Amino acid sequence: MNRTPTLVLALALHAAAATALTLVAVRPAAAQAAPVAPVAGEVTKLDKAGNRIEIRHGEIRHLDMPPMKMMFRVRDPKLLEGVAVGDRIRFTAEKIDGNFTVTAIAKGP
């Protein structure tokens, strides 16, 4: 008796079950991404017309970025209201459409 079709069917079912288990296991972890921690920084330059802000900041772990001074895009121009060069801030940033973008700003140490 030829057992090849039975073996092929068994392997296919095993592979399908393994894939389904992997997808189920991965989906909840991705859906529950860790919250982004605010980072301390100092405003070094503002470009309100261009919706950009330069910040000297500490390490941004979730972006794998060491401490540095760099220019960020701003998600919402209203975030720049009430912020001035020299202000110490806490901010969050994300990579959106390939650009590092500030998503929240609050004055503070």
Per the structure, the count of domains in the chain is 2
Q: What are the two backbone dihedrals, phi and then psi, of residue 72, each rounded to the nearest 5 degrees?
A: -120, 150
The amino acid present at 88, given as its one-letter code, is: R
Which of 17, 25, 78 has the alpha carbon at shortest distance from 51? 78
Q: What is the pTM of this model?
A: 0.68
Say what the pLDDT of residue 6 is. Answer: 64
Q: Which two tokens stand for residue 34?
A: 């860790």
Say what the pLDDT of residue 92 is. Answer: 97
The low-confidence residues of the chain, meaning pLDDT below 50, are 18-32
Say what the pLDDT of residue 35 is. Answer: 78
In a shared domain, residues 24 and 49: no
In a shared domain, residues 67 and 92: yes
Q: Which two tokens stand for residue 71?
A: 């220019």
Say what the pLDDT of residue 2 is. Answer: 63
Say what the pLDDT of residue 104 is. Answer: 96
Residues of the domain holding 11 = 1-33
Q: DSSP labels for 25-36?
A: HHHHHHHTPPPP
